[in-house]
Amino acid sequence: MRNQRNFSMDILRVLACFLVMWQHVSEYYYISPEGLPVKAASTYLIGYITSLDRCCVGLFVMISGYFLLPIKDSVDIFFRKRLNRIVWPFIFWGVIYAIYNLISRGDTLVQCLTNMAHIFVNFGTELGHMWFVYMLIGIYLLAPVLSPWLQTANKKTLQLYLAIWLVASALPYIHLVYPKIWGECFWNPTPMLYYFTGFGGYFILGFYLRKYGYPSRIASVFLILIGYIITSLVYITRIETAETVASLELSWGETNINVIMMAVGIYGLVCSLQWKGQNLLGRLVTDNAVKGYGIYLAHVLVLSEFAEIFVGKYDSVLIEIPLITIMTFVMTYLLITVMSYLPKSKYWLG
């Protein structure tokens, strides 16, 4: 029931979805059509106005951990509920994007059908934002394995796991000094801290914060500031020397320690504030959160249309990025709202 929802989690969902869109709009300005870093004044500005966005995926996974761990249903019911909710909409929108590219990009019918078949291989129609769904499925597959441990693990045990995860999250920076460390080599793809890396830590962190509480408001602000300073400054200092986008985005890794700091800080700050979710704005936030998965899957289709119109129009990322993001956010929500009235919409909107 919507009146039983956690409004703070709804705010985090909506905020994370908005930050995803902001990030995707920003990519038009610091990544060239050839896939190389753009070295311009706008690239520096993006370091300041976009670095905070990188915590968006971590927030999504923490929210999942908050609600799902430990799982309460039987394993088969859990998978039926979760996978049905995400897989069918994922396939539906993969098909929609394939048809969209057939019409707008001039793909051949063979390319269109190949893109549809490719949904079951990787990224569907080669749309980057679809990577999230594969990761989410992997997180759900892990949930029954984690649940028995989480039911018995005490606070210190969880803190020990999370501490090791944080050490592992610093590996991108450690690798600048030691390219191979703790067993890394070409014949060993799973070095010492391999099993403590990735989004599973966010999943467990969401459970931990629900059970033991979130950081104070002051601590949350501190985490956001320190994480943001590290994230933005490292990005900015690499603009002139980065030869690839991956190199430029070193500090933007979603599971980097500085990004984790921002995610935990935003989580704590939102949860520490008092919210009144029963007014019109609150109901809109909740409705947006309910439709969030469909909005996430559909937003690139809307964004690409607005990008065609507005990228380069005002010659300022400080105008164009907020403008395109807000318009994409509003119009995608309206699109999904209209589609939600169609029959069987839950199977393709999530």
Q: Where are the domains of the chain?
A: 2-340
Task: Reduce the DSSP state of residue 232 to 3 states and report it.
Answer: helix
Label residue 157 left, alpha or beta by phi (over 0 means left) and psi (-120 to 50 means alpha).
Answer: alpha
Question: Is 2 a residue whose pLDDT tops 50?
Answer: no
pLDDT at 46: 95
Using pLDDT thresholds of 50, 70 and 90, give the confidence band for residue 108: confident
pLDDT at 4: 67
pLDDT at 84: 83
Using pLDDT thresholds of 50, 70 and 90, give the confidence band for residue 120: confident
Using pLDDT thresholds of 50, 70 and 90, give the confidence band for residue 276: low
* Residues 6+ positions from 163 with CB-CB distance below 8 Å: none
Using pLDDT thresholds of 50, 70 and 90, give the confidence band for residue 106: confident
CA atoms within 13 A of residue 181's CA, in its CB half-sphere: 13
Q: What average pLDDT does range 58-75 have in this prediction? A: 94
- Kindly list the distances between the CA atom of residue 11 and the CA atoms of 8, 14, 16, 66, in Å, as whole numbers in the listed order: 5, 5, 8, 14
Separation of alpha carbons 136 and 129, rounded Å: 12
pLDDT at 1: 43
Question: Is 163 a residue whose pLDDT tops 90?
Answer: yes
Of 126-135, 172-181, 272-281, the one with minimum mean pLDDT is 272-281
